[in-house]
Structure 1
Amino acid sequence: MKPLLIAAALLLVPALAPTVAMAQVAAASMPNSFDRPASQAARAPAQPAAPASPAAPAPAAAPAVSMTPANARSEEVLREIIAGGQAGTLPYALMTEDLGGKVRAQEATVLPLLSGLGAIQALDFVGSRDGVDMFAVTFATGATQWVIGFDDSGKVAALLFRPAT
């Protein structure tokens, strides 16, 4: 997997709109799996449901997304990256050289964003697509969506976060 960094974190700061243009172009090239997962992309449009009768049972909840050891590692590394960023020291040793260089170039912008989000309230695995894992992370001050992917050597090669929609 070709190393990739999409600094969509800049979307969190409306005042930085001129610098966001590059992040938006890069983000536009990645499928938006949070809004429409691959498993739903080929489905036909949903038809309106028939009115429920008073005795009808409540609809079943959506099936839970199952975690695997690989997803658990993604969650562990993501938590470490977020904690490091909030503490002011990103764990570059976990990243590929290419990704680390790109993150370092944006560190002055990314670190204040991460520390301004506050404590993690919830971190939920959303799914996997095209070799990356997707997570919904709720902080004290807002909700975000994260994508994390690894290269063949196990280093983080793809990292993205943006406000939740």
Structure 2
Amino acid sequence: MKPLLIAAALLLLPAAAQAQVAAASMPNSFDAPATAARAAPVLAAAPTPANPRAEDVLREIIAGAQAGTIDYSLMSDDLAARVREQEAAIQPLIAGFGPVQAVDFVGNQNGADLFAVIFANAATQWVIGFNEADKVAALLFRPAE
């Protein structure tokens, strides 16, 4: 299953385009190629997120999406523009997940952090990455496997 990339409208793109957009945006931290999966772990075991604000910012973005009031000032200009384009599709999807019950840090890869987010109605995985200006520049999510 391909991860959902909020910024690039993957909910609406064909599978081939999804792979290109996800690969161009950031490494796919969810899945490793079949050969690489046997050779090395996908995520680095890390006791803490690469960005100490990652969980708080992720919670704020999720809460904003559920309330229909996403705080775009947390995001890079590019990501904010892409999320705005998709807000009408993303907001009801995330709102439908229900209240957040747990957010657990899983690991990081290439400076981006992976979290397992459990909602009342869904279990998901999220990747959040920050740029050098400490703005969210990458944001992906998908249902947990």
Deviation at 1:160, TM superposition (A): 0.7
Q: Does 2:51 correspond to 1:67?
A: no
Residues 6-65 of structure 1, C-alpha deviations (whole Å, 9 max, x = no match): 445x3xxxxxxxx241435423565443345xxx6534xxxxxxxxxxxxxxxxxxxx85
CA 1:130–1:72 in 2, change beyond 3 Å: closer, same or farther?
same
Amino acid at match of 1:127: G
Post-superposition shift, 1:141?
Answer: 0.6
After TM superposition, list the pairs within 5 Å mapping 1:1-165 onto structure 2.
Answer: 5-8=7-10, 10=11, 19-21=12-14, 22-27=17-22, 30-35=26-31, 42-43=39-40, 65-68=46-49, 70-165=50-145
Which amino acid in 1 is paired with 2:127? V
Whether contact under 8 Å (1:7, 1:160) holds in the other structure is no
**Secondary structure at the counterpart of residue 70 of structure 2:** coil
Aligned-partner Cα distance in 2 for 1:95–1:142: 25
Give the secondary structure class of the aligned counterpart of 1:147. strand
TM-score by length of 1: 0.69
8 Å CA contact 1:65–1:125 kept in 2: the answer is no
Select the structure of larger CA radius of gyration.
Answer: 1
Q: Tell me the matched-pair count.
A: 131
SS at match of 1:152: coil
Please give the alpha-carbon distance, in whole angstroms, between the structure 2 residues aligned to 1:143 and 1:28. Answer: 24
Q: Hey, what's the Cα distance between the residues in 1 that align with 2:77 and 2:28?
A: 26
What amino acid is aligned across from residue 5 of structure 1 in structure 2? A
Distance 2:130 2:46 in 1: 20
Structure 1's unaligned 5+ residue stretches are 11-18, 44-63
Identity of aligned residues (%): 57
Normalising by structure 2, report the TM-score. Answer: 0.77
Give 3-state SS (helix, strand or coil) of 1:5's partner: helix
Structure 2 residue identity aligned to 1:27: A
State the superposition RMSD in angstroms. Answer: 2.6
- Structure 2: which 5+ residue stretches go unaligned? 1-5
